[in-house]
Amino acid sequence: MPRTKTGRHHLFIPGPTNVPEPVLNALHVSSEDMRSADFPQLTLPLFKDLKKIFKTTKGNVFVFPGSGTGAWESAITNTMSPGEKVLIFRFGQFSLLWADMFKRLGLDVDVRDVPWGTGTPAEKIEKILKKDKNHKYKVVCVTQNETATGVSSDVAAVRKAMNAAKHPAMLFVDGVSSIASIDFRMDQWGVDCAISGSQKGFMLPAGLAILAASPKALKAHKKAQLKRCFYSWEDMLATNASGYFPYTPPTPMLRGLRVSIDMLLDEGLENVFARHHRIAEGVRQAVKEGWGLKLCAKGPKWESDTVSAIIVPKSADARKVIATAYGKYNLALGAGLNILAGKVFRIGHLGDLNELQAAAAITGAEMAMIDSGIKVKPGSGVAAASKYWLKNMKAPKKARK
């Protein structure tokens, strides 16, 4: 437990994220009748506005009790049949786990490894698909934001590559730590299944598996032969149309989702994305210019606007930095996962967040590094971040009213 009980606990892992007060208030409601005549007054507008977050008018949204992992399983089992072939690039813990799920569900998974610190290579996808004359690949997968390494992939470029190859495979995107934080355009980019969860950009506790399916995915659903039950789409499609669920939904979470979507739309999605980029760039300036350290992301084209993975010097142990930050400064930082354990610590900068909150994370991480024997100058990180923010704070664009 943290050493001190005074003040606020600083949560800067890349999810769960901070839950804003209006959402907390919305969650604090009595149980309600999910079969009542007025329940659709909550759900039908909620489904409609949720589609705005995914930027789809053609797709169908689903909200299940669960997590992003549950949304993965729902997308796979509702669109695929045993033995069908999947193409996925592995470059972090979550793309690794996604590939593992495909295998465990009985799919033929072509896993291509690329260096951790990079992302999905669109140019390689085009070459692979052009060779697939018999169209054996049924799905191409992209992890838009790999939180283990602080890397974002270019989904639009992948769709362009698939189109150039004239390949009919479906495009699945893991947007768990990107949707509602980083630009995502389901219809424009031709995404067939978009996967997310409640505990990151949606600013809620964990508990909702959120996904959107294109008309092409819904068509594939009619032929899919993988076994499914709880995460099946057919019962949802039948009941959601009138504003209900096939089983008891987590009604407080739906109330919270209503408020979180209102907050996102009131701010304006373009402003949300700009805010995330601005805060992220301030953190990156702290790492590079202030501390003189490197990010795991191998170049600006891969850098994530929701999480930064910071490489500590070879003589240091990132686990000590994380433990010191938590125990001494009441600051939760993300740990290095898998092959990055002990080599990096992560600062999550997504969700309900502003520059001054990010400055607190930079300060705490800096002091924890100094306590752990890493030679950085006190105040250097915040100075670099502040210099950037002072030059780049702009008035937001007009949002909805």
Cα(first)–Cα(last) distance of the chain, in Å? Answer: 43
Question: Do 155 and 293 sit in the same domain of this protein?
Answer: no
Q: What is the pTM of this model?
A: 0.95
pLDDT by residue for the chain (401 residues), tens only, comes to 445 568 889 999 999 999 999 999 999 999 999 999 999 999 999 999 999 999 999 999 999 999 999 999 999 999 999 999 999 999 999 999 999 999 999 999 999 999 999 999 999 999 999 999 999 999 999 999 999 999 999 999 999 999 999 999 999 999 999 999 999 999 999 999 999 999 999 999 999 999 999 999 999 999 999 999 999 999 999 999 999 999 999 999 999 999 999 999 999 999 999 999 999 999 999 999 999 999 999 999 999 999 999 999 999 999 999 999 999 999 999 999 999 999 999 999 999 999 999 999 999 999 999 999 999 999 999 999 999 999 998 777 777 65
Question: CA–CA separation, 374 vs 224, rounded Å?
Answer: 54
Question: Do 300 and 262 sit in the same domain of this protein?
Answer: no
**Closest listed residue to residue 179, CA positions, set 57, 303, 68:** 68
Question: Do 50 and 155 sit in the same domain of this protein?
Answer: yes
> What residue type is assigned to position 251 of the chain?
T
Rg of the chain in Å (alpha carbons): 21
Phi-psi region of 118 (alpha: psi -120 to 50; beta: other; left: phi over 0): beta
Under DSSP, the state recorded for 396 is P
Domain ranges, residue 282: 269-392
Question: CA–CA separation, 145 vs 231, rounded Å?
Answer: 24
Question: Do 67 and 182 sit in the same domain of this protein?
Answer: yes
> What residue type is assigned to position 197 of the chain?
G
Q: What's the CATH code of the domain at 225?
A: 3.40.640.10
**Helix count (H) and strand count (E) of the chain?**
13, 14
Question: CA–CA separation, 200 vs 94, rounded Å?
Answer: 15
Question: Do 86 and 230 sit in the same domain of this protein?
Answer: yes
Question: Do 196 and 318 sit in the same domain of this protein?
Answer: no
**Closest listed residue to residue 143, CA positions, set 154, 159, 157:** 154
Residue 16, preceding peptide bond in cis (omega within 30° of 0):
yes
DSSP 119-149: ---HHHHHHHHHH-TT--EEEEEEESEETTT
> What residue type is assigned to position 4 of the chain?
T
Question: Do 63 and 52 sit in the same domain of this protein?
Answer: yes
**Closest listed residue to residue 192, CA positions, set 137, 114, 253:** 137
Q: Are 396 and 274 spatial neighbours (Cβ–Cβ below 8 Å)?
A: yes
> What residue type is assigned to position 172 of the chain?
F
Q: Are 185 and 205 spatial neighbours (Cβ–Cβ below 8 Å)?
A: no
Q: Are 399 and 266 spatial neighbours (Cβ–Cβ below 8 Å)?
A: yes
Question: CA–CA separation, 328 vs 379, rounded Å?
Answer: 18
Question: Do 241 and 162 sit in the same domain of this protein?
Answer: yes
Q: Are 205 and 16 spatial neighbours (Cβ–Cβ below 8 Å)?
A: yes
For residue 233, count other CB atoms closer than 10 A to its CB: 24
Sign for the pseudo-dihedral over CA of 352, 150, 212, 268: positive
> What residue type is assigned to position 95 of the chain?
S
Using alpha carbons only, give the angle 270, 273, 274 rounded to the nearest 5 degrees: 85
Under DSSP, the state recorded for 287 is I
Under DSSP, the state recorded for 389 is H
Question: CA–CA separation, 301 vs 218, rounded Å?
Answer: 33
Question: Do 252 and 286 sit in the same domain of this protein?
Answer: no
pLDDT of residue 363: 98
Number of separate domains in the chain: 2
pLDDT of residue 395: 73
3-class SS of residue 109: strand
**Closest listed residue to residue 265, CA positions, set 177, 179, 180:** 180
Q: Which token pair is 154?
A: 């270019």
Kindly state whether residue 76 falls inside one of the protein's structural domains: yes
Instruction: Select from 233, 250, 266 the last residue of a domain.
Output: 266
Using alpha carbons only, give the angle 170, 211, 26 rounded to the nearest 5 degrees: 165
Question: Do 34 and 144 sit in the same domain of this protein?
Answer: yes
Question: Do 280 and 261 sit in the same domain of this protein?
Answer: no
**Closest listed residue to residue 179, CA positions, set 65, 352, 306:** 306
Question: Do 75 and 201 sit in the same domain of this protein?
Answer: yes
